[in-house]
Amino acid sequence: MGEKAGALCVGGIVRHVAHGEEMWTDFIASGEKVDDLDHYAESFRMGPDDTVAGLLDDFAAAARRTDEGRGARRHPARDPRRSMS
């Protein structure tokens, strides 16, 4: 029985963690919880223009916003919830 590679990759994990951090800061700032299972599932996949370095930068920026208590401020080109199609 052979092993098969899964669809999940390091970049997808980093992207998902950054997405979770942004959702957390949005919730802290607004008090509104957004449940969007499509965007949640999408957050595990790297887009065609994503790089691991860029996704790590996104996560670091999201973590800084959390630490600073400013809430999420997204740049549209780096939004983990953007469409992958």
Give the Cβ contact number of residue 33 at 10 Å: 8
Side chain identity at 44, as an amino acid letter? F
The full set of domain ranges for the chain reads 16-78
**Of the given ranges (40-44, 53-57, 69-73), which has the lowest mean pLDDT?**
69-73
pLDDT attached to residue 32 = 82
pLDDT tens figures, 4-19: 556 788 999 999 999 8
Taking the C-alpha atoms of residue 29 and residue 57, their distance in angstroms, rounded to an integer, is 22
Q: Is 16 helix (H, G, I), strand (E, B) or coil?
A: helix
Answer whether 0.75 is exceeded by the pTM.
Answer: no
Q: Where are the alpha helices (DSSP H) in the chain?
A: 10-30, 37-42, 52-68
